[in-house]
Structure 1
Amino acid sequence: MTVRVGLTGGIASGKSTVSAILAGLGAVVVDADVIAREVVARGTPGLAAVVEEFGPDLLTPDGELDRPAMGALVFADPAARRRLESIVHPLVHRRSAELEAAADPGAVVVHDIPLLAEVGRAGQFDAVVVVDAPTEVQVSRMVEDRGWTREEAEARIAAQASREDRLSIATHVVVNAGTLDDLRRRIEEVYAELSARAGAA
Protein backbone atom coordinates (compact mmCIF):
# COMPACT_ATOMS: atom_id res chain seq x y z
CA MET A 1 0.00 0.00 0.00
CA THR A 2 1.14 3.52 -0.72
CA VAL A 3 2.14 5.44 2.40
CA ARG A 4 1.24 9.12 2.13
CA VAL A 5 3.62 11.41 3.98
CA GLY A 6 3.35 15.13 4.61
CA LEU A 7 6.73 16.91 4.78
CA THR A 8 6.95 20.38 6.25
CA GLY A 9 9.29 22.77 8.02
CA GLY A 10 9.76 26.45 8.65
CA ILE A 11 11.65 28.72 6.30
CA ALA A 12 15.41 27.94 6.22
CA SER A 13 14.87 24.73 8.20
CA GLY A 14 16.43 22.63 5.46
CA LYS A 15 13.20 21.05 4.21
CA SER A 16 14.30 21.22 0.56
CA THR A 17 17.47 19.32 1.42
CA VAL A 18 15.43 16.68 3.25
CA SER A 19 13.09 16.42 0.26
CA ALA A 20 16.05 15.84 -2.08
CA ILE A 21 17.51 13.15 0.21
CA LEU A 22 14.15 11.37 0.38
CA ALA A 23 13.87 11.44 -3.42
CA GLY A 24 17.37 9.97 -3.64
CA LEU A 25 16.34 7.16 -1.32
CA GLY A 26 13.43 6.26 -3.58
CA ALA A 27 10.48 8.29 -2.31
CA VAL A 28 8.06 9.82 -4.81
CA VAL A 29 8.22 13.52 -3.93
CA VAL A 30 5.27 15.75 -4.78
CA ASP A 31 6.55 19.30 -4.26
CA ALA A 32 3.75 21.80 -3.69
CA ASP A 33 6.05 24.78 -4.37
CA VAL A 34 7.16 23.38 -7.75
CA ILE A 35 3.57 22.59 -8.69
CA ALA A 36 2.42 26.04 -7.53
CA ARG A 37 4.88 27.55 -10.02
CA GLU A 38 3.77 25.19 -12.79
CA VAL A 39 0.06 25.98 -12.45
CA VAL A 40 0.64 29.72 -12.93
CA ALA A 41 3.29 29.43 -15.66
CA ARG A 42 2.93 31.56 -18.78
CA GLY A 43 -0.04 30.50 -20.89
CA THR A 44 -1.81 28.48 -18.18
CA PRO A 45 -5.43 28.95 -17.09
CA GLY A 46 -4.04 29.49 -13.59
CA LEU A 47 -2.04 32.53 -14.64
CA ALA A 48 -5.03 33.89 -16.56
CA ALA A 49 -7.13 33.60 -13.38
CA VAL A 50 -4.47 35.42 -11.33
CA VAL A 51 -4.30 38.25 -13.86
CA GLU A 52 -8.09 38.51 -13.93
CA GLU A 53 -8.13 38.79 -10.12
CA PHE A 54 -5.11 41.05 -9.55
CA GLY A 55 -4.54 42.82 -12.87
CA PRO A 56 -1.83 42.73 -15.58
CA ASP A 57 0.63 44.80 -13.52
CA LEU A 58 1.78 41.54 -11.91
CA LEU A 59 3.18 40.26 -15.21
CA THR A 60 6.76 40.65 -16.37
CA PRO A 61 7.37 42.08 -19.87
CA ASP A 62 7.62 38.54 -21.25
CA GLY A 63 4.28 37.47 -19.81
CA GLU A 64 5.44 35.54 -16.76
CA LEU A 65 4.11 36.09 -13.25
CA ASP A 66 6.24 38.69 -11.47
CA ARG A 67 6.87 36.58 -8.37
CA PRO A 68 8.63 39.23 -6.26
CA ALA A 69 5.78 41.69 -6.88
CA MET A 70 3.13 39.06 -6.16
CA GLY A 71 4.98 37.96 -3.03
CA ALA A 72 5.28 41.51 -1.74
CA LEU A 73 1.56 42.09 -2.33
CA VAL A 74 0.27 38.99 -0.56
CA PHE A 75 2.82 39.12 2.26
CA ALA A 76 1.54 42.59 3.21
CA ASP A 77 -2.16 41.87 2.63
CA PRO A 78 -3.73 38.74 4.18
CA ALA A 79 -6.95 39.23 2.18
CA ALA A 80 -4.98 39.30 -1.07
CA ARG A 81 -3.13 36.16 0.01
CA ARG A 82 -6.42 34.36 0.57
CA ARG A 83 -7.65 35.43 -2.87
CA LEU A 84 -4.48 34.11 -4.47
CA GLU A 85 -4.69 30.85 -2.51
CA SER A 86 -8.30 30.34 -3.61
CA ILE A 87 -7.03 30.28 -7.21
CA VAL A 88 -3.79 28.35 -6.79
CA HIS A 89 -4.56 25.77 -4.09
CA PRO A 90 -7.27 23.84 -5.98
CA LEU A 91 -4.97 23.61 -9.02
CA VAL A 92 -2.08 22.38 -6.85
CA HIS A 93 -4.29 19.79 -5.12
CA ARG A 94 -5.51 18.44 -8.46
CA ARG A 95 -2.01 18.11 -9.89
CA SER A 96 -0.70 16.56 -6.65
CA ALA A 97 -3.44 13.93 -6.80
CA GLU A 98 -2.49 13.09 -10.39
CA LEU A 99 1.17 12.58 -9.45
CA GLU A 100 0.27 10.44 -6.45
CA ALA A 101 -2.07 8.28 -8.53
CA ALA A 102 0.80 7.58 -10.95
CA ALA A 103 3.09 6.24 -8.16
CA ASP A 104 3.74 2.50 -7.88
CA PRO A 105 1.76 0.54 -5.26
CA GLY A 106 3.83 0.31 -2.09
CA ALA A 107 5.61 3.60 -2.74
CA VAL A 108 6.37 6.18 -0.10
CA VAL A 109 4.75 9.31 -1.52
CA VAL A 110 6.05 12.48 0.14
CA HIS A 111 4.00 15.64 -0.24
CA ASP A 112 6.38 18.56 0.34
CA ILE A 113 4.03 21.23 1.77
CA PRO A 114 5.71 24.26 3.39
CA LEU A 115 2.50 25.50 5.06
CA LEU A 116 1.11 22.13 6.16
CA ALA A 117 0.58 23.28 9.75
CA GLU A 118 -1.05 26.50 8.59
CA VAL A 119 -3.58 24.89 6.23
CA GLY A 120 -4.67 22.20 8.68
CA ARG A 121 -4.18 19.22 6.35
CA ALA A 122 -1.95 17.05 8.56
CA GLY A 123 -4.77 14.60 9.20
CA GLN A 124 -4.88 13.69 5.50
CA PHE A 125 -1.54 11.86 5.71
CA ASP A 126 -0.40 8.52 7.13
CA ALA A 127 2.66 10.24 8.61
CA VAL A 128 3.96 13.79 8.97
CA VAL A 129 7.69 14.57 8.90
CA VAL A 130 8.59 17.94 10.39
CA VAL A 131 12.05 19.39 9.70
CA ASP A 132 12.92 21.44 12.74
CA ALA A 133 15.68 23.95 13.41
CA PRO A 134 16.13 26.40 16.27
CA THR A 135 14.88 29.87 15.39
CA GLU A 136 18.36 31.35 15.74
CA VAL A 137 19.67 28.83 13.21
CA GLN A 138 16.90 29.77 10.76
CA VAL A 139 17.70 33.47 11.15
CA SER A 140 21.43 33.01 10.66
CA ARG A 141 20.85 30.91 7.52
CA MET A 142 18.62 33.58 5.99
CA VAL A 143 21.08 36.34 6.82
CA GLU A 144 24.17 34.43 5.66
CA ASP A 145 22.75 32.44 2.72
CA ARG A 146 20.06 34.75 1.37
CA GLY A 147 21.42 38.17 2.28
CA TRP A 148 18.34 39.17 4.27
CA THR A 149 18.43 41.52 7.21
CA ARG A 150 17.77 40.07 10.64
CA GLU A 151 14.48 42.01 10.75
CA GLU A 152 13.34 40.53 7.41
CA ALA A 153 14.21 37.03 8.59
CA GLU A 154 12.40 37.40 11.90
CA ALA A 155 9.32 38.87 10.18
CA ARG A 156 9.12 35.93 7.78
CA ILE A 157 9.43 33.42 10.63
CA ALA A 158 6.73 35.26 12.59
CA ALA A 159 4.38 35.05 9.59
CA GLN A 160 4.55 31.24 9.62
CA ALA A 161 3.21 28.72 12.11
CA SER A 162 5.19 28.52 15.34
CA ARG A 163 7.67 25.70 15.94
CA GLU A 164 5.30 24.37 18.58
CA ASP A 165 2.41 24.24 16.13
CA ARG A 166 4.49 22.38 13.56
CA LEU A 167 5.90 19.93 16.10
CA SER A 168 2.40 19.21 17.37
CA ILE A 169 1.46 17.60 14.02
CA ALA A 170 4.66 15.55 13.65
CA THR A 171 4.85 11.78 13.65
CA HIS A 172 8.58 12.05 12.80
CA VAL A 173 10.78 15.01 13.76
CA VAL A 174 14.02 15.66 11.88
CA VAL A 175 16.23 18.13 13.70
CA ASN A 176 18.49 19.92 11.23
CA ALA A 177 21.00 21.79 13.34
CA GLY A 178 24.12 19.68 12.74
CA THR A 179 26.05 18.41 9.73
CA LEU A 180 24.67 17.16 6.43
CA ASP A 181 25.84 13.65 7.38
CA ASP A 182 23.83 13.87 10.62
CA LEU A 183 20.79 14.94 8.63
CA ARG A 184 21.21 12.15 6.07
CA ARG A 185 21.47 9.49 8.79
CA ARG A 186 18.28 10.69 10.43
CA ILE A 187 16.43 10.77 7.10
CA GLU A 188 17.58 7.23 6.32
CA GLU A 189 16.13 6.10 9.66
CA VAL A 190 12.81 7.79 8.97
CA TYR A 191 12.64 6.47 5.41
CA ALA A 192 13.34 2.93 6.59
CA GLU A 193 10.41 3.18 9.00
CA LEU A 194 8.09 4.56 6.33
CA SER A 195 9.18 1.94 3.76
CA ALA A 196 8.59 -0.86 6.29
CA ARG A 197 5.13 0.52 6.90
CA ALA A 198 4.41 0.57 3.16
CA GLY A 199 5.65 -2.99 2.78
CA ALA A 200 3.65 -4.27 5.74
CA ALA A 201 0.40 -2.64 4.68
Structure 2
Amino acid sequence: MRVGLTGGIASGKSTVSAILSELGAVVIDGDALAREVVERGTPGLQRVVEAFGSGILTAEGDLDRPALGAIVFADEARRKELESIVHPLVFERIVELEGSADPDALVVHDIPLLAESGRAPTFDAVLVVDVPVETQVQRMLELRGMTREDAEARVRAQATREQRLAIATHVIDNTGTLEDLRRRVLEVHAELVGGAA
Protein backbone atom coordinates (compact mmCIF):
# COMPACT_ATOMS: atom_id res chain seq x y z
CA MET A 1 0.00 0.00 0.00
CA ARG A 2 1.33 3.45 -0.97
CA VAL A 3 0.56 6.22 1.48
CA GLY A 4 1.29 9.94 1.24
CA LEU A 5 2.19 11.72 4.50
CA THR A 6 2.16 15.49 4.67
CA GLY A 7 1.75 18.41 7.03
CA GLY A 8 2.73 22.04 7.24
CA ILE A 9 6.11 23.14 8.54
CA ALA A 10 6.47 22.45 12.29
CA SER A 11 3.31 20.32 12.35
CA GLY A 12 5.12 17.26 13.69
CA LYS A 13 5.20 15.32 10.42
CA SER A 14 8.74 14.05 11.10
CA THR A 15 7.62 12.63 14.45
CA VAL A 16 4.71 10.84 12.77
CA SER A 17 7.09 9.54 10.11
CA ALA A 18 9.42 8.16 12.82
CA ILE A 19 6.53 6.42 14.61
CA LEU A 20 5.36 4.81 11.35
CA SER A 21 8.91 3.64 10.70
CA GLU A 22 9.03 2.07 14.19
CA LEU A 23 5.81 0.25 13.28
CA GLY A 24 7.52 -1.32 10.27
CA ALA A 25 6.50 1.01 7.46
CA VAL A 26 9.01 1.75 4.71
CA VAL A 27 9.36 5.54 4.93
CA ILE A 28 10.55 7.46 1.89
CA ASP A 29 11.39 10.94 3.19
CA GLY A 30 11.06 13.70 0.61
CA ASP A 31 12.96 16.19 2.81
CA ALA A 32 15.89 13.81 3.28
CA LEU A 33 15.98 13.11 -0.46
CA ALA A 34 15.81 16.84 -1.23
CA ARG A 35 18.95 17.26 0.91
CA GLU A 36 20.63 14.20 -0.62
CA VAL A 37 20.25 15.36 -4.24
CA VAL A 38 22.06 18.65 -3.49
CA GLU A 39 24.90 17.29 -1.35
CA ARG A 40 28.44 18.44 -2.10
CA GLY A 41 29.69 17.01 -5.39
CA THR A 42 26.27 16.18 -6.84
CA PRO A 43 25.01 17.36 -10.22
CA GLY A 44 22.00 18.75 -8.33
CA LEU A 45 24.14 21.11 -6.25
CA GLN A 46 26.00 22.21 -9.39
CA ARG A 47 22.68 23.13 -11.05
CA VAL A 48 21.52 25.06 -7.97
CA VAL A 49 24.81 27.02 -7.92
CA GLU A 50 24.44 27.78 -11.64
CA ALA A 51 20.94 29.17 -10.96
CA PHE A 52 21.59 31.03 -7.68
CA GLY A 53 25.32 31.79 -7.62
CA SER A 54 28.17 30.64 -5.40
CA GLY A 55 26.90 32.83 -2.53
CA ILE A 56 24.63 29.93 -1.55
CA LEU A 57 27.64 27.76 -0.66
CA THR A 58 29.44 27.48 2.67
CA ALA A 59 33.22 27.91 2.83
CA GLU A 60 33.44 24.10 2.73
CA GLY A 61 31.41 23.89 -0.49
CA ASP A 62 28.16 22.62 1.00
CA LEU A 63 24.77 24.17 0.36
CA ASP A 64 24.16 27.06 2.76
CA ARG A 65 20.49 26.36 3.44
CA PRO A 66 19.76 29.56 5.38
CA ALA A 67 21.29 31.67 2.57
CA LEU A 68 19.27 29.87 -0.09
CA GLY A 69 16.16 29.95 2.10
CA ALA A 70 16.44 33.72 2.46
CA ILE A 71 16.29 34.01 -1.34
CA VAL A 72 13.56 31.52 -2.16
CA PHE A 73 11.17 32.20 0.70
CA ALA A 74 11.15 35.90 -0.19
CA ASP A 75 10.51 35.39 -3.91
CA GLU A 76 7.99 32.88 -5.25
CA ALA A 77 9.51 32.85 -8.74
CA ARG A 78 12.93 31.94 -7.33
CA ARG A 79 11.34 29.25 -5.12
CA LYS A 80 9.67 27.72 -8.19
CA GLU A 81 12.99 27.84 -10.01
CA LEU A 82 14.65 25.90 -7.18
CA GLU A 83 11.78 23.39 -7.11
CA SER A 84 12.13 22.85 -10.88
CA ILE A 85 15.72 21.73 -10.27
CA VAL A 86 15.27 19.68 -7.11
CA HIS A 87 11.86 18.01 -7.57
CA PRO A 88 12.73 15.90 -10.67
CA LEU A 89 15.91 14.65 -8.95
CA VAL A 90 13.94 13.71 -5.83
CA PHE A 91 11.33 11.94 -7.94
CA GLU A 92 14.02 9.78 -9.59
CA ARG A 93 15.26 8.67 -6.13
CA ILE A 94 11.69 7.97 -4.95
CA VAL A 95 11.10 5.65 -7.91
CA GLU A 96 14.35 3.79 -7.11
CA LEU A 97 13.49 3.38 -3.40
CA GLU A 98 9.89 2.37 -4.00
CA GLY A 99 11.02 -0.21 -6.53
CA SER A 100 13.27 -1.85 -3.93
CA ALA A 101 10.57 -2.10 -1.19
CA ASP A 102 8.84 -5.41 -0.39
CA PRO A 103 5.60 -5.67 -2.45
CA ASP A 104 3.53 -6.21 0.73
CA ALA A 105 5.08 -3.31 2.65
CA LEU A 106 3.24 -0.22 3.83
CA VAL A 107 5.24 2.38 1.90
CA VAL A 108 4.89 5.86 3.37
CA HIS A 109 5.98 8.81 1.25
CA ASP A 110 6.84 11.69 3.59
CA ILE A 111 6.16 14.65 1.27
CA PRO A 112 6.09 18.18 2.74
CA LEU A 113 4.52 19.72 -0.38
CA LEU A 114 2.05 16.97 -1.27
CA ALA A 115 -0.94 19.33 -1.47
CA GLU A 116 1.04 21.68 -3.73
CA SER A 117 2.31 18.92 -6.02
CA GLY A 118 -1.10 17.62 -7.10
CA ARG A 119 0.13 14.05 -6.49
CA ALA A 120 -2.33 13.17 -3.69
CA PRO A 121 -4.57 11.10 -6.02
CA THR A 122 -1.61 8.82 -6.86
CA PHE A 123 -1.66 7.37 -3.30
CA ASP A 124 -3.94 4.74 -1.76
CA ALA A 125 -4.31 6.98 1.32
CA VAL A 126 -3.16 10.45 2.40
CA LEU A 127 -2.26 11.21 6.02
CA VAL A 128 -2.27 14.88 7.01
CA VAL A 129 -0.62 15.95 10.26
CA ASP A 130 -2.71 18.92 11.35
CA VAL A 131 -2.16 21.82 13.74
CA PRO A 132 -3.44 25.41 13.68
CA VAL A 133 -1.23 27.96 11.89
CA GLU A 134 -0.49 29.80 15.15
CA THR A 135 0.83 26.52 16.61
CA GLN A 136 3.17 26.16 13.61
CA VAL A 137 4.44 29.71 14.09
CA GLN A 138 4.93 29.29 17.86
CA ARG A 139 6.89 26.07 17.34
CA MET A 140 9.19 27.73 14.81
CA LEU A 141 9.77 30.63 17.21
CA GLU A 142 10.45 28.36 20.19
CA LEU A 143 12.14 25.33 18.64
CA ARG A 144 13.92 26.78 15.62
CA GLY A 145 14.69 30.28 16.87
CA MET A 146 13.07 31.97 13.86
CA THR A 147 11.65 35.46 13.85
CA ARG A 148 7.86 35.72 13.60
CA GLU A 149 8.28 37.29 10.13
CA ASP A 150 10.40 34.35 8.88
CA ALA A 151 8.05 31.79 10.43
CA GLU A 152 4.97 33.37 8.87
CA ALA A 153 6.74 33.57 5.47
CA ARG A 154 7.48 29.82 5.65
CA VAL A 155 3.82 29.08 6.41
CA ARG A 156 2.64 31.32 3.54
CA ALA A 157 5.03 29.55 1.13
CA GLN A 158 3.13 26.30 1.66
CA ALA A 159 -0.41 25.17 0.93
CA THR A 160 -3.02 26.41 3.38
CA ARG A 161 -4.26 24.23 6.20
CA GLU A 162 -7.59 23.91 4.36
CA GLN A 163 -5.86 22.77 1.15
CA ARG A 164 -4.00 20.04 3.05
CA LEU A 165 -7.15 18.87 4.88
CA ALA A 166 -8.99 18.69 1.54
CA ILE A 167 -6.66 15.90 0.33
CA ALA A 168 -6.66 13.91 3.59
CA THR A 169 -8.07 10.42 3.90
CA HIS A 170 -6.79 10.38 7.51
CA VAL A 171 -6.19 13.45 9.69
CA ILE A 172 -3.64 13.16 12.49
CA ASP A 173 -4.21 15.95 15.02
CA ASN A 174 -0.97 17.02 16.73
CA THR A 175 -2.18 19.61 19.23
CA GLY A 176 -1.95 17.26 22.24
CA THR A 177 0.88 15.39 23.91
CA LEU A 178 3.37 13.06 22.26
CA GLU A 179 1.41 10.17 23.77
CA ASP A 180 -1.81 11.49 22.17
CA LEU A 181 0.00 11.67 18.84
CA ARG A 182 1.41 8.15 19.16
CA ARG A 183 -2.07 6.79 20.01
CA ARG A 184 -3.58 8.42 16.90
CA VAL A 185 -0.77 7.16 14.65
CA LEU A 186 -1.30 3.62 16.00
CA GLU A 187 -5.02 3.88 15.17
CA VAL A 188 -4.32 5.07 11.62
CA HIS A 189 -1.60 2.44 11.10
CA ALA A 190 -4.01 -0.31 12.23
CA GLU A 191 -6.64 0.91 9.74
CA LEU A 192 -4.11 0.98 6.93
CA VAL A 193 -2.74 -2.50 7.51
CA GLY A 194 -6.21 -3.98 8.08
CA GLY A 195 -6.35 -4.05 11.86
CA ALA A 196 -2.95 -5.61 12.56
CA ALA A 197 -1.02 -3.06 14.59
TM, length-normalised to structure 2: 0.94
Q: Which amino acid aligns with 1:145?
A: L
Per the TM alignment, residue 90 of structure 1 is displaced from its structure 2 partner at its CA by 0.6
The correspondence of residues 1-201 of structure 1 with structure 2, limited to 5 A, is: 3-196=1-194
Amino acid in structure 2 at the alignment position of 1:164:
E
Identity %: 70
Contact 2:74 2:153 in 1 (8 A): no
Could you tell me how far apart the structure 2 residues matched to 1:47 and 1:151 are?
28
What is the CA–CA distance in structure 2 between the aligned matches of 1:85 and 1:137, rounded to whole Å? 26
| TM superposition shift of 1:137 | 1.9
2:4–2:120 Cα contact (<8 Å) kept: yes
Letter in 2 for 1:71: G
Query: Where do 5+ consecutive residues of structure 2 fail to align?
Result: none
Residues 143-190 of structure 1, C-alpha deviations (whole Å, 9 max, x = no match):
222222333323322222111110000000000011111111110111
Q: Secondary structure at the match of 2:73?
A: helix
CA RMSD between the two structures? 1.5
Structure 2 residue identity aligned to 1:50 = V
For residue 64 of structure 2, what is the amino acid of its counterpart? Answer: D
Letter in 2 for 1:161: A
Equivalent pairs, count:
196
Partner amino acid for 1:125? Answer: F
SS of the equivalent of 1:43 reads coil
Cα distance in 2 for residues equivalent to 1:88 and 1:94: 10
**Alpha-carbon separation, structure 2, partners of 1:156 and 1:49:** 24
- What is the TM-score normalised by the length of structure 1? 0.93
**Paired letter, 1:118:** E
Q: Distance in 2 between matches of 1:169 and 1:57?
A: 38
